[in-house]
Each structure stands twice: as structure tokens, then as C-alpha cells.
Amino acid sequence: MEAFSRAGRCRWWCVAVLVALNTAPSRAADWIYTVQRGDNPWSLTERYLAGVNYWPRIQQLNQIADPEHIAPGTRLRIPVDWLRRRSAVARIGAVSGSALVDGPSGRREARDGLELHSGDVITTGEEGNLTLVFGDGSRVLVHAASELHIDELGTFDNTDYYETRVRLEQGRMENLVTPLGAGPGRFEIETPAAVTAVRGTRFRVSADAAAMRAEVIEGGVDVGSGHGKVEIPAGFGTVAETGAPPSAPIVLLDAPGVAALPALLDRLPVGFTLPALSGAVGYRVQLGEVPGFAVPLLDLRADGPRLRLGDLADGRYVLRVRAIDANGLEGRDAEFAFVVDARPEPPLLTAPAPGAGVTTGQPDLQWGARADIARYRVQLARDETFDDLLMDADDVTAATATASQELTPGNYYWRVAAIDAVEGQGPFSDPQAFRRLPPAPPLEAPAVDERQLVVSWRAGQAGDRYRFQFAADDAFTSPLVDETLAEAHVTLPRPGGGTYFMRVQTIDAEGYAGAFGTPNRIEVPSPPSRPWWLLALLIPLLAL
């Protein structure tokens, strides 16, 4: 340029002297420029600054002795306010739930890819979350029930410096990703209580009319108000109440333990129970899809370590959870990946009922039919882990199946899974236990003599006992005999002549009683009549 001829440079040098005498160094944020070969204050002014009158200020601020020979690699401070500025835009990266954008162009529904400008106001619904992506790659998550004003979006010609100022009137937001660009910049969040100034860090801010809270995950954050300022390093937070200085740094709570949580969930509703964490009065729970965590599908506060996430669709998820302390500060994040595979849901098992006893050797297994399921898989085993399988049928089309073999007395477990054309086989139902009761032993023909009646039956397993009943009617409404015996026989006084019924059941060593066997009918003849007149004659003779 002609203005930068040698004579022109002399004139500018004189101006620089005057400026040095009358102008103090700027206190604005600085952009650091690394000198390249051939750079000088005049070329830097032309390339970067808002006007030609700034070149002597660069020289004075950086104490450049020879403006025509600045060594390459020299780092120069240039106040951001001197740079040639132009407007920048942000865009919405992802939206979950409802959110609105108000601004000079009117009200719009928030949607993926929507561009935002200075002056726009974002309002998220009670279940709305959205991600903002700024020109330098910074990503900010605006949570539900928040009001965020975009006061200033700017960039500077030929630089990698971005300036972002937003105002959080209420709600919560967090910087999710450290800016991708390597250059410096300025990012300020104003709240009713205080202002945070950050760059190249991960942090969270929440605000309402009474206070602002900031939590730093990486890097550092300056938090200030008209009443004071504090620097918050990583792992700490602060609370700034309206009209008061920010608190000294407060240590954030550790991340909750998630290592023992199940990685596969096949039951609905989905839920977890965290190990208790000292100092926690609640937990922030966020749920995202895999891959990525652009915007939460779910964002809620739990008052205790029991987390309930509802009826999630089958798929892969990431749980992000952190503890909340008594100050309302949210601690370090714990992330846990898990899979939901709960469909098609298993049917409701109906019979045998849990813990029921069955008397038949091949019992029927029954469950609730579902119109949308054409096929079921049924398993029957001797053990609850189904390692000792007795039956595994995956082609059952009705809501019932019969045990494939005769069951001996003992405990058994069964379960059913539904199979459909879309999902394939779903998870098994919870195992349901039943007991095959010991069968009643058959009675042998009783032995009757003039004095007694002896009934015997086949002995069962070691430790079995037997309940024997003897009655005058086959309903056994008032048994004449009802005894529990250790031996497989019973001896009774001979009853009077007539028709009688008897039956027996087995009680195994664990106390489970089987069904009574089929009642046996017995005819007991009347005893022969005696000549009582002859006995009457003999008694006196016997007395002599």
C-alpha cells in the first residue's frame, strides 16, 4: 500500500510515539499472534485490525523496537477489541423434546440444523433438550426448562478467534466438548447472579433468580459478579447467590459406582440401583443412545440411588449419572453402556402356580396367550439355572405344553419365551418352580381276623411318611382313623361288620404331601354269633 511507504512509516512512527505517551495498554482479552517471516505492524494491521490507526498501538503494547525486523516466532499480544470483527452463527445440532427459538426473524420450532444468530432466545420445554454447535466447534447442551439468550456471536477476519456471549436466565447448560479448534477465544455465560468466563474447558452452569452454580470438569473457569471473583479449577464448583460473591471452590462429589450394574436388561421397566455415595442427596440421570451422546433422551433428577428409566425401546444406551450434594452442585460423571433386549416380552405363566404341587407325572404347563405371538419356547429343568434340562421345545404354537417325560417326585423349574417374526426370540420369563408330589402307594388287600385288621402298602423313598384314613363313607367326612405313620402298614382293632373305605397319601422327607390314592372299599363280615344260653350255664359250673 502507498500509505506504508518508507515516508509513510516515518509519519506512523511519530503517531506511535504520541500514542505511547497518551494511551495505556488495553485491558481487553488478548489474541496471541505468532510472527511469521515478513510480518510487521503495518501488514498485521491490514490483515487483521479494524483500522489503520491500530498499528502503532500494536508496536507500543508489545514494545517493538524495530518494527521492520520482528523475529519470526515472536508472540504478539493483540487486544480482541482491535480486531476486525464480523458476525458468526451457531446451529442446533440435535433436539429432543420441545424447544422454541425467538428472535428478529420470529418464533420457530427448534430443529436439527437450524442456524442461530445474535439476539435469538432459546426456550426448552419441561422435557426438551438441545445441543448448540458454535463456529469453533464448541458444543453446548441446553437442558430442559431453560431460557438461554444468545447475546453475541462473533468471529474476526483471518483469525481462529471466536467470541461467544450467552445469558442463561434460568435452567441448566453444560459444555460437552472442548472446542475442536486450536485457537483462542472468549466464551462467557451470564446469569442473574454471576458471569462465567471459560475457554477450552468442560463445565456446567445452572441458574435461577436466586443463585448460579458452576461445576468444572476439565480446565478452569472464572466466576465473577459485582461482589467478587473466584477461579474454579477442575473437580471443583461454586455457588454464587444473587447479591453475594461466589463461594470459594467446593470439591465435587466422586462419580457414582457403576461397575457392578448389569450390562444386559431384559425386563421392563428398566431400572438400576446405585451403591450409596456419601454426601449425595440426589442424582442427576441422563440417558443417551449409542453411538454418541448428542442430546439426552432422558434427563431427570432422582432423590435416591434407585433409578427408574421406564419402558425403553430395545437398543444400546449410555447412562450418565452424577451425585448431587447439599449445595446443589453436581459431581463427576459416571458413564455406563448397556443393552435393552426385552422384546417380545415373555408371557405370564399361569399353571402350575409358583410353588404348587402337581400329582400327575407329566403335568401341563400353561401361560397367557398373546395374539401377536405365533410360537413359544418352553424349557423344563431340575435346577433353577436350567443346566439340567429335561425339556426344550421351541416349536410350541399353543399357550400350553405337556412335560415331555414322566417326572419323579421333587422340585422342577419351567420358563417360557415368546418368538415373533420381527424380534425373533425374546427373553425367558422368570423361572417358576413347582413340585412333583409323591404318588400315593397302592393298598394291598387287608388281612382281617377275629381281633384285628392289618393294612399294608408299598414303601416309598427313605424318609417318607404316610397318612392313613379309614372311614365308613367314601367322602371321608368323619374318618374313624386318621393317623400319620412312619411304616408302610397299620394295625387296627377289628371293626364291626359293614362296608368301610380306606386311603393313604405319601408325605416326603421335606414335608410335601402327595394326593390321596383312590379309596379302597372293604367289606368286613359280622363276627359269628355265640350260644349265649350255653355260656350262661357254664359260668356257674366254672365258679365251683
| C-alpha cell read off for 141 | 447442551
Task: Assign 517 a pLDDT band (cuts: 50, 70, 90).
Answer: very high
Q: Return the pLDDT at 182.
A: 44
| C-alpha cell read off for 483 | 393317623
Q: Return the pLDDT at 201.
A: 82
Beta strands at 452-456 and 489-493: parallel, antiparallel or unpaired: antiparallel
Residues 278 and 326 sit within 8 Å (Cβ to Cβ): no
Beta strands at 121-124 and 85-87: parallel, antiparallel or unpaired: unpaired
Looking at CATH, the fold of the domain delimited by 264-340 is given as Immunoglobulin-like (2.60.40)
How far apart, in whole angstroms, are the C-alpha atoms of residue 248 and residue 214?
12
In 3D space, the residue among 173, 176, 216 whose CA is nearest the CA of residue 198 turns out to be 216
pLDDT: is 73 or 534 the higher one? 73
Burial of 128 (0-12, 13-18, 19+ CB in 10 A): buried
Task: Assign 162 a pLDDT band (cuts: 50, 70, 90).
Answer: confident
Q: Return the pLDDT at 6.
A: 37
Q: What residue spans define the domains of the chain?
A: 2-82, 86-251, 264-340, 349-436, 447-524
What beta strand segments (E) does 447-535 contain?
447-448, 452-456, 465-471, 481-485, 489-493, 498-507, 520-524
Residues 289 and 297 sit within 8 Å (Cβ to Cβ): yes
Residues 485 and 465 sit within 8 Å (Cβ to Cβ): yes
Q: Return the pLDDT at 539.
A: 59
Share of the chain above pLDDT 90, in %: 76
Residues 131 and 139 sit within 8 Å (Cβ to Cβ): yes
How far apart, in whole angstroms, are the C-alpha atoms of residue 42 and residue 1?
10
| C-alpha cell read off for 160 | 481462529
How far apart, in whole angstroms, are the C-alpha atoms of residue 333 and residue 323?
8
Pick from 13-27, 164-178, 461-475: least confident: 13-27
Q: What is the CA angle 173-225-91, rounded to 5? A: 30
Looking at CATH, the fold of the domain delimited by 86-251 is given as Jelly Rolls (2.60.120)
Average pLDDT over residues 156-168: 88
Report whether pLDDT(24) > 70.
no
Provide the β-strand partners of residue 301: 284
Average pLDDT over residues 113-118: 96
How far apart, in whole angstroms, are the C-alpha atoms of residue 346 and residue 266?
10
Helix (H/G/I), strand (E/B), else coil: 41: helix
pLDDT digits (tens, 9 = 90+) for 163-200: 899 999 999 999 864 444 445 567 889 999 999 887 66
Average pLDDT over residues 268-295: 90
What number of other Cβ atoms are within 10 A of residue 39's Cβ?
18
Task: Assign 124 a pLDDT band (cuts: 50, 70, 90).
Answer: very high
Hey, do 264-340 and 447-524 end up sharing a CATH topology, with the first three levels equal? yes
Sign of CA dihedral 418, 422, 423, 424: positive
Correct CATH for 2-82 of 3.10.350.10, 3.30.1380.10, 1.20.1250.20, 3.60.15.10:
3.10.350.10
How far apart, in whole angstroms, are the C-alpha atoms of residue 199 and residue 163?
10
Rounded to the nearest integer, the mean pLDDT of the chain is 88
Average pLDDT over residues 35-49: 92
Share of the chain above pLDDT 70, in %: 89
Buried b (16+ CB within 10 A) or exposed e, 205-232: bbbbeebbbbbbbebebbbbbeeeebeb
Q: Return the pLDDT at 89.
A: 95
Q: Return the pLDDT at 219.
A: 87
In 3D space, the residue among 337, 221, 237 whose CA is nearest the CA of residue 287 turns out to be 337
SS (H, E, C) 205-271: EEECCCEEEEEEEECEEEEEECCEEEEEECCEEEEEECCCCCCCCEECCCCCCCCCCCCEECCCCEE
Task: Assign 138 a pLDDT band (cuts: 50, 70, 90).
Answer: confident
pLDDT: is 363 or 15 the higher one? 363
pLDDT digits (tens, 9 = 90+) for 333-365: 999 999 999 999 999 999 999 999 999 999 999
In 3D space, the residue among 515, 517, 349 whose CA is nearest the CA of residue 435 turns out to be 515
Helix (H/G/I), strand (E/B), else coil: 188: strand
Is 3.60.20.10 the CATH number for 447-524? no
pLDDT: is 253 or 371 the higher one? 253
Measured in residues, the chain has a length of: 544
Cell numbers 355260656 label which residue? 535
Correct CATH for 349-436 of 2.60.40.10, 2.40.110.10, 1.10.3210.10, 3.90.226.10:
2.60.40.10
